Amino acid sequence: MAAPTCSLSVLSYLVSLCLLFSLEKGFALQYKQTTNSHNTPQHTYTVQLSSLLPDSICSTSTVPNHEASLKVVHKHGPCSQVHQDSITTHDHTQILQQDQSRVKSIHARLAKKSATTAAATGRIHQQDATTIPAKSGAVVGSGNYIVTVGLGTPKRDLSLIFDTGSDLTWTQCQPCAKSCYSQKETIFDPSKSSSYSNVSCTSADCSQLKSATGNTPSCSSVTSTCVYGIQYGDSSFSVGYFARDTLTLSSSDVISNFLYGCGQNNQGLFGGSARLLGLGRNKISLVEQTAQKYNRLFSYCLPSSSSSTGYLSFGTTGSKAQYPIKYTPLSTLSASASFYALQVLGISVGGNKLSVPATLFQSAGTIIDSGTVITRLPPTAYSALSGEFKKQMSKYPSAPALSILDTCFNLSAYQTVTIPKISFYFGGGTAVDLDATGILYAASLSQVCLAFAGNSDDGDVAIFGNVQQKTLQVVYDIGGGRIGFGSGGCS
């Protein structure tokens, strides 16, 4: 986009750093981060609501020099090849509802053992049983960030949602034996790829599908080809041949014999993309399949707005962050080894630490997920956060709730607003300031909401979602057993 002018103004003792962002939809807002002359960090961000610019043009930031870097774009923005028209308040409600389905499916997957026990004793609610397939090992793919990779020989470009909460990579495939939903790009045709091969039913790779998808693979009798099936909590699914083909990340990063699902029966609301790039921790995820090459190290930066771009890099911590990467130990949840877990110990709002005991977060556990939009907290912690945020925002008129977001403000009468900074305290003594774009979710300027929600139970796992990760360089150093965060990874 013709980058709206971002002025660096020096006013007596104030230096304003100006950042441009837009909140999920076609609005651009300007943020000023203030620091005083003594370099004491301020506990607020000054947000300039100077313009409601529909961002219809993509402003591409440079992808890091490292070879194995992919451009990350928002599914609903002008930088996406598969994007639809600009999104409405109705779409926001839908995105947030789908996000809630994803969170439910994550909780169901983590509670699988106890759910099975509950079902056996007849305690499972009908509603849960209908919305979450009992056997589902997959979480709903509501993820909204897309990368473009090449598949096959010659390579064909496909836009895939990248998802650290999923393991199996899959795409729709010709001849769509049963069904394909409409996608913007040409559907991949394995018969036109010289490097394509089917995985046999008897191979160890085929047996691995059970833990990655929750479903026992079946076998196509004609050619003894392994058949995967994956269903999501929102009743979408993909069934097809488990296959191998060449995956091209960049001209010098070509992965041969990459295992993925070649979908022949695909249904669901997949928003035009060809589907999923699985970055979870199971053996068949891209991260594990490339463990030799990239040493289980990858990093990404999610852009501040749908009209700017971020990146996803393999084999590097990336090097763009303006500040050093701060690390926190990576852990594993006993209920599922697929998720990336970390420890949240506390949260502060405008410099005030919430009086919520660290044990509350520790007993629930926390995962970091690229596919969950809104951060979910134990309800006790969320209500403390919301209460403190409202208190510090008390001069602004409130607005009705937006789906799962209940702390909203009508800011349409303002040029500038001052919002409290929010910081997360992670295990290992790591404090991370969220970017201003990681605090608010705006449907419109008359409905700007705190971008957090509470779980229904303090015992449910908390999720550090993708709004909160915006502009942070997030490093997954699996070998090193740590997750890192750097400020200013992208704009």
Q: Which amino acid is at 162?
A: F
Q: How far apart are CA 91 and CA 96, in angstroms?
A: 8
State residue 292 phi and psi, 5-degree precision: -65, -40
Binding footprint of ligand NAG on the chain (CB under 6 A): 196, 198, 220, 222-223, 225, 241, 399, 410, 412-413, 446
Run of H or E residues at 209? helix 204-213
What string of DSSP letters covers 31-71? EEEEE-TT-PEEEEEEEE--------S-BPPPPPSSSSEEE
For the CB of residue 448, give the shortest distance to ligand NAG in the complex, in Å.
11
Cβ neighbors of 321 (< 8 A, separation 6 or more) are: 473, 486, 487, 488, 489
Q: How far apart are CA 144 and CA 96, in angstroms?
A: 11
Dihedral Cα 328, 331, 333, 336, nearest 10 deg: 120
For the CB of residue 88, give the shortest distance to ligand NAG in the complex, in Å.
15
Nearest to ligand NAG of 368, 402 (CB atom): 402
Nearest to ligand NAG of 84, 223 (CB atom): 223
Of 13, 59, 27, nearest in space to 443 by CA? 27
C-beta neighbour count of 88 within 10 angstroms:
13
For the CB of residue 189, give the shortest distance to ligand NAG in the complex, in Å.
11
Nearest to ligand NAG of 198, 403 (CB atom): 198
Tell the residue number behind the tokens 């971020």, with chain if given. 310
485 forms bridges with which residues in the sheet? 326, 474
* Cβ atoms 469, 489 nearer than 8 A: no
Identify the DSSP state of 99. Answer: H
Catalytic residue list: 163, 369
For the CB of residue 232, give the shortest distance to ligand NAG in the complex, in Å.
24
Nearest to ligand NAG of 114, 416 (CB atom): 416
Run of H or E residues at 15? strand 14-21
For the CB of residue 196, give the shortest distance to ligand NAG in the complex, in Å.
6
Please, what's the b/e burial string for 236-264 (b: 16 or more CB within 10 A of its CB; e: otherwise)? bbbbbbbbbbbbbbbeebebeebbbbbbb
Nearest to ligand NAG of 129, 413 (CB atom): 413
Strand duo 473-477 + 430-433: pairing: unpaired
For the CB of residue 412, give the shortest distance to ligand NAG in the complex, in Å.
5
Nearest to ligand NAG of 400, 481 (CB atom): 400
For the CB of residue 93, give the shortest distance to ligand NAG in the complex, in Å.
15
In the bound complex, which residue of the shown chain has the CB atom lying closest to ligand NAG?
Answer: 223
Nearest to ligand NAG of 29, 345 (CB atom): 29
* Cβ atoms 109, 206 nearer than 8 A: no
Nearest to ligand NAG of 221, 292 (CB atom): 221
76 CB-contact burial (10 Å; exposed 0-12 / middle 13-18 / buried 19+): buried
Instruction: Provide the phi-psi class of 116: left if phi over 0, else alpha when psi is between -120 and 50, else beta.
Output: alpha
For the CB of residue 262, give the shortest distance to ligand NAG in the complex, in Å.
8
Nearest to ligand NAG of 225, 285 (CB atom): 225
Q: How many residues does the chain have?
A: 491
Identify the DSSP state of 202. Answer: T
What is the CA angle 390-96-103, rounded to 5? 100
Q: How far apart are CA 285 and CA 34, in angstroms?
A: 42
Cβ neighbors of 12 (< 8 A, separation 6 or more) are: none
89 half-sphere exposure, CB direction, 13 A CA radius: 11
For the CB of residue 89, give the shortest distance to ligand NAG in the complex, in Å.
11
